[in-house]
Amino acid sequence: MVDQATVRTTIAASPEACFAAAIDFERYPDWASDVKMARILSRDDQGRAVDVEFRAAAMGRSTTYTLRYFYGSNPSRLAWRLQSGDIARRLDGEYEFLPVPSDPSSTEVVYHLAVDLSVPLPGFVKRRAEARIVRTAVNDFTAHAESNAT
């Protein structure tokens, strides 16, 4: 069963600064509490990372997965799809960085995630793991983007 979450928050950094922080994959281990390694496997013709392999702490063990990133024509969105992983069948999502009309130095961030773990887990354990992913993607990302903006 696929579990989904969507979270909105406002970050005290410009949309451009948020996007730049989100695509700086090699720095994820510096700010994303569970990410231990991020390695770019391939890039597009503009030099942006397309396939990125991650190693992360998950449920008391280490997990490895590869995400494929999509930039599209909208510079305020970054989407990804799971290419391979050892504990998930699906780990797809996106960030959308929207300008705050009343404050050009702030961004409304919309984060969406769809997860389907391949390992059988009790519901409460699954929800805890998914909440941890969302917390990292929103709270840790907010702290990172705001610290880079100052």
Determine contact, residues 41/52, Cβ cutoff 8 Å. Answer: yes
- Rounded CA gap, 63 and 55, in Å? 6
User: What is the Cβ-side half-sphere exposure of residue 116, based on CA atoms within 13 angstroms?
Assistant: 8
Superfamily of domain 3-149: START domain (3.30.530.20)
Q: Please give the chain's pLDDT, 150 residues, in tens.
A: 567 889 899 999 999 999 999 999 999 999 998 899 999 999 999 999 999 999 998 767 788 999 999 997 777 899 999 999 988 888 999 999 999 999 989 999 999 998 877 766 656 555 665 665 666 677 788 888 888 776
User: Which pLDDT value is given to residue 101?
Assistant: 93
Q: What is the pTM of this model?
A: 0.85
Every domain of the chain and the residues it spans:
3-149
User: Which pLDDT value is given to residue 74?
Assistant: 75
Phi, psi for residue 48 in degrees, rounded to 5: -85, 145
